Amino acid sequence: MSLLLRNGWIVTQNPRREILRGDILVEDGKIAGIGGVKGGADEEIDCSDCAILPGLINVHGHVANTLLRGRADDVPLEKMLEVTFAADGKLTRRDVQVGALLGCLEMLKSGTTSFVDLFYWEDEVARAVREAGIRGFLAWAVLDPDKTTQRGVPVKNAEQFVEKTKGHRLVSPMVGLQGVYACSEETYLAAKDVADREDVGLHTHLSETRTEVYEHEKGTGLRPVEWLDKIGFLGPRLSAAHCVWVTMNEVRTLAARGVSVAHCPVSNMKLASGGVAPVPEMLDAGLAVGLGTDSPISNNGLDMFSDMKVCALLHKANRWEAATMPAQKVLDLATIDAAKVLGREREIGSIEVGKRADLAVADLRHPHATPFYPANLSSHLVYACRGSDIRATIVDGVKRVGEGHLVGVDEAEVLARAREIAGELFG
């Protein structure tokens, strides 16, 4: 199956960050040609007055929590977690699958082609990923056995999920850990052992709030990053979400150990985590940093365009410096830098011949996106465009959204099922 995207503004995100005018040929799931492509293809998409960009990569979230959207507004993290954990005890496998599918559709329609998820019952999230046709990096949540609603031992559940799921085209299993407030040294090291043996990634929440950091320091004498380093958990397999309350010494430790960071500015602001993650310092230290929405309960949406704009503005306002976190760097965090967080920069994150064809087409003909200037197209995408501008989304060479509509999934049915479940749970 071949696909030809005609006559668009191509935001390559290649090492030179070139913006080209032309075509993209997709064959067998890969980008086969860029520029002036001669001949035709099995299907063509007219991209006139559109930007073609790499599919966005959301490096932290809890996608099944779409069902909890709006259930914990205007409360801090601790209160939100109470709502989340109470709901976890009610959710069935069907609920998780439907909630995850709803989130996958929301992401596809707003140009996201890959996402990282931290949850239990990731096998049900994997079903949703396969049905929607999105790329999922799925981390089964591991907690101490006395702190979970999971049946069985969480680390064993994670191991079984990894063994069962490895090798799927769109699903990459990982091992996840809830955080230092729910995981002992034994749990962290058992999870790391599974990841090392199975050669998969690790994902965890880390230093999200001042309370988390201070309580851990009170109990152990060490801040979370210091403690995880002491027990030998930190390493290049690990991507850590948030890292808001970290010192420069901790930033240097994370960089030295090869850890990457998932920056979630909207969620952190909504939960009033206080402070701002020192992302500029992380980048200066050589850390790979990507952008994440976090959960729909703490963000309410999964639109990476919205989060890109907030990310840029937050750091500018915090530093009193308009040049901080320029739009090009923020676009990097959502594309090629996010791919580096996942160790997949050779496969996704930019538009280059030979890479997987994960692409998004943004229509620039809307009033809020008019006019646009090709020389400033990267900043236009960050500051002016919206997820609703997406006309087409392609994942692994397959069109999943066309003319703004989902392909291969009955959106109305999914929405109806989600509303029904929400009514059963909370009505």
pLDDT of residue 81: 85
Report domain extents, the chain: 2-54+354-406, 56-341
pLDDT of 427 over the 80 cut: no
In this prediction, what percent of the chain has a pLDDT beyond 90? 92
Report residue 65 CA to chain centroid gap.
Answer: 14
pLDDT of residue 83: 86
Which homologous superfamily does the CATH classification assign to the domain defined by 56-341? Metal-dependent hydrolases (3.20.20.140)
Q: Average pLDDT, stretch 252-264?
A: 98
Residue 331: CB partners within 8 Å, gap ≥ 6? 11, 13, 53, 308, 378, 381, 382
pLDDT of residue 88: 78
CA separation for the pair 208, 245 (Å, rounded): 6
Spatial strand order of the sheet with 171-177 comes to 56-58, 112-119, 135-142, 171-177, 201-206, 238-242, 260-263, 289-291
Question: What would the pLDDT profile of 124-140 be if each residue is shown by its tens digit?
Answer: 999 999 999 999 999 99
pLDDT of 27 over the 90 cut: yes
CA separation for the pair 288, 302 (Å, rounded): 22
Q: Average pLDDT, stretch 275-297?
A: 97
Determine whether 268 is exposed, middle or buried from the number of CB atoms within 10 Å of its CB (0-12, 13-18, 19+).
buried
CA separation for the pair 326, 373 (Å, rounded): 17
- More confidently predicted of 312 and 82: 312
Q: Residue holding tokens 């801040």?
A: 223
Question: What would the pLDDT profile of 345-388 be if each residue is shown by its tens digit?
Answer: 999 999 999 999 999 999 999 999 999 999 999 999 999 999 99
CATH class of 2-54+354-406: mainly beta
Q: Average pLDDT, stretch 84-97?
A: 88
Q: Residue holding tokens 């609603």?
A: 149
CA separation for the pair 313, 321 (Å, rounded): 10
- More confidently predicted of 85 and 184: 184
pTM summary value: 0.98
Looking at the DSSP bridge assignments, the partners of residue 60 are none
Q: Average pLDDT, stretch 254-277?
A: 96
Residue 102 pLDDT class (50, 70, 90 cuts): very high
In this prediction, what percent of the chain has a pLDDT beyond 70? 100
Question: What would the pLDDT profile of 128-173 be if each residue is shown by its tens digit?
Answer: 999 999 999 999 999 999 988 888 899 999 999 999 999 999 999 9
Q: In whole numbers, what is the pLDDT of the chain averaged over residues?
A: 96
Amino acid at 33: G
How wide is the angle at C-alpha 14 spanned by C-alphas 12 and 16, nearest 5°?
110
